[in-house]
Amino acid sequence: MALTKEQIAQRIAKELKDGYYVNLGIGIPTLVANYIPEGVEVILQSENGMLGIGPFPLQGEADPDLINAGKQTVTVLPGGSFFDSSASFGMIRGGHVDLTVLGAFEVTDKGDIASWKIPGKMVKGMGGAMDLVASAKNIVVAMQHTSKDGQSKLLKECTLPLTGVACVKKIVSDLAVIDVTDEGFKLLERAPGVTVDDIRKATEGKLIVEGEIPEMQF
């Protein structure tokens, strides 16, 4: 069975280590905050100028001056801080953020990513995605392995405009966990009930399969 969005987030949360400063993108990546493992303390960075993102506010306590990068109202945890946008991207560009999780339309076996524009259809802008992928030490992409009509999104070359080149380190899709290596996509784990063959068929880019591939554990 392919993973749900929540399960993709849950699997990505296992990549979090105690003490990490983490930037979570909009969509599935935001859900990762719901699955931070017990005993692991991470501090979430919001590109609009905040460290220490807390849960959504209680009913009636939403503050228009306290939002995340997706413009949702949030809270700040004890020990949090606020700063301006140039300082925020200074910490991103300076490599101070340990892990960045973001969504993608397409990723290549060289780590290129397309995530911001569908020509003629969607021109919303790149926001902070290009800054994040160009500077993050460690980038995990949360995505669907194929499009609704079954076309692979793990490709040799992106068909959509790029967000960044040779930057993605790991992919957690609804079918698999994959490391992006110098040689190509290296299959690490399968979604429960999904076979290596299923993943091979759904992957257009170069897929490396070595030995037995375990099922993901939740």
Partner 1 sequence: MNKVVKDAQEAIAGIKDGMTLMVGGFGLSGIPENCITALVESGIKDLTCISNNAGVDDFGLGLLLQKRQVKKMISSYVGENAEFERQLLAGELEVDLIPQGTLAERCRAGGAGIPAFYVPAGYGTEVADNKEVRVFNGKPHLLEYGMVADFAIVKAWKGDTHGNLIYRNTANNFNQPMATAGKITIAEVEELVPAGTLDPNMIHTPGIYVQRIFQGKNYEKRIERKTER
Taking the least distance from each CB to partner 1, the nearer of 39 and 120 is: 120
Closest distance to partner 1 from the beta carbon of 49 (Å): 5
CB contact at 8 A, 142 and 12: yes
Residue 75 burial (C-beta neighbours within 10 Å; 0-12, 13-18, 19+):
middle
Q: Is 47 a catalytic residue?
A: yes
CB contact at 8 A, 171 and 101: no
Say how far apart CA 164 and CA 110 lie, in whole Å.
11
Say how far apart CA 27 and CA 38 lie, in whole Å.
23
Say how far apart CA 73 and CA 154 lie, in whole Å.
33
- What does the binding site for partner 1 look like in residue numbers (CB under 8 A)? 46-50, 55-68, 70-74, 76, 82-86, 88-90, 92-93, 112, 123-131, 134-135, 161-166
| Cβ count near 66 (within 10 Å) | 18
**Annotated active-site residue in 15, 47, 106, 189:** 47
Q: Exposed e or buried b for every residue in 96-117, given b needs 16+ CB within 10 A?
A: ebbbbbbbbbbbbbbbbbbbbb
Closest distance to partner 1 from the beta carbon of 122 (Å): 8
Closest distance to partner 1 from the beta carbon of 48 (Å): 4
CB contact at 8 A, 115 and 105: yes
Taking the least distance from each CB to partner 1, the nearer of 12 and 74 is: 74
Q: What is the DSSP string of 134-157?
A: HH-SSEEEEE-SB-TTS-BSEESS
Please, which residues have CB within 8 angstroms of residue 57's CB and are 6 or more apart in sequence?
63, 66, 73, 74, 75
Taking the least distance from each CB to partner 1, the nearer of 81 and 151 is: 81
Taking the least distance from each CB to partner 1, the nearer of 5 and 200 is: 5
Taking the least distance from each CB to partner 1, the nearer of 161 and 214 is: 161
Closest distance to partner 1 from the beta carbon of 107 (Å): 14
Closest distance to partner 1 from the beta carbon of 140 (Å): 19
- Residues designated as active site: 47
